[in-house]
Amino acid sequence: MKVLANEAPKDIELLGKKKLVNFNIEQVTKENEDGTTYIMYQYEQLRFKPTDTPKYIEDTVKDYRLNNLKVTTTGGKTFYADPSSRVDLRDVIAQAEDKGLPSTTWKLAEDFEGSRYAVVTLDELKEASSLALEEKGKIVGAL
């Protein structure tokens, strides 16, 4: 679950009979209607039983992060980068190269210029695929 809070969270918190594990913690700046700014903390949180083992928690968080992965290219387009999407990226890159297509329409993970669908170039697809593999490597400890 995504959380937005006023205070920076601890990595692990106990709340009643639940163990809360917080990750992907980012400090974000928000703005009031009068233009003043303030700091918030945005992060993802999973809930576990206090009896869940550290190995189970680690594996579950890793799986969650892999299955919800997104990457943003230098052009500002955000792509899904979960396991299925990484295969889709590889397939469309191979097909575009085989057919000599310089671009295609792709469904992005976040709006880009007002739409989830955008024309993406072969180079953008390659960059997204490369970034996806890099981020996967960071999560599984391969890089």
The per-residue pLDDT for range 92-107, each reduced to its tens digit, is 999 999 999 999 999 9
Distance CA 42, CA 56 (A): 24
What number is the average pLDDT over the span 49-76? 94
Q: Which pLDDT score, from 0 to 100, does residue 141 have?
A: 84
Which residue, 94, 68, 93, is CA-closest to 80? 68
Residues of the chain above pLDDT 70, percent: 99
What number is the average pLDDT over the span 11-38? 92
Q: Are residues 39 and 81 in the same domain?
A: no
**What is the per-residue pLDDT across 26-60, written as a single tens digit (0 to 9) for each?**
999 999 999 999 999 999 999 999 899 999 999 99
Which residue, 84, 76, 69, is CA-closest to 132? 69
Average pLDDT, the chain: 94
Distance CA 136, CA 69 (A): 8
Q: Are residues 74 and 130 in the same domain?
A: yes
Whether 35 maps to a domain, the answer reads yes
Distance CA 65, CA 26 (A): 15
Q: Kindly indicate the confidence band of residue 89, based on its pLDDT and cuts at 50, 70 and 90.
A: very high
Whether 61 maps to a domain, the answer reads no
Confirm if 46 and 60 have CB atoms less than 8 A apart.
Answer: yes
Who has greater pLDDT, 141 or 3? 3
What number is the average pLDDT over the span 4-8? 92
Q: Kindly indicate the confidence band of residue 142, based on its pLDDT and cuts at 50, 70 and 90.
A: low
Q: Are residues 45 and 85 in the same domain?
A: no
- What tokens does 79 get? 């792509």
Q: Is the pTM of this model over 0.85?
A: no
Q: Are residues 88 and 134 in the same domain?
A: yes
The range of the structural domain enclosing residue 126 comes to 70-140
Q: Are residues 14 and 44 in the same domain?
A: yes
SS3 for 113? coil
> Where do the H-state alpha helices sit in 1-143?
54-67, 83-99, 122-140
Q: Are residues 80 and 37 in the same domain?
A: no
Q: Are residues 44 and 89 in the same domain?
A: no
Q: Are residues 74 and 131 in the same domain?
A: yes
**Torsion angle, alpha carbons of 76, 8, 44, 23, to 10:** 90
Whether 15 maps to a domain, the answer reads yes
Q: Are residues 90 and 125 in the same domain?
A: yes
- What tokens does 51 get? 């009896």
Q: How far apart are the first and last CA of the chain?
A: 26
How many domains does the chain contain in total? 2
Question: CA angle 34-115-123, nearest 5°?
Answer: 115
Residue 83 has pLDDT above 60, yes or no: yes
Q: Which pLDDT score, from 0 to 100, does residue 1 have?
A: 87
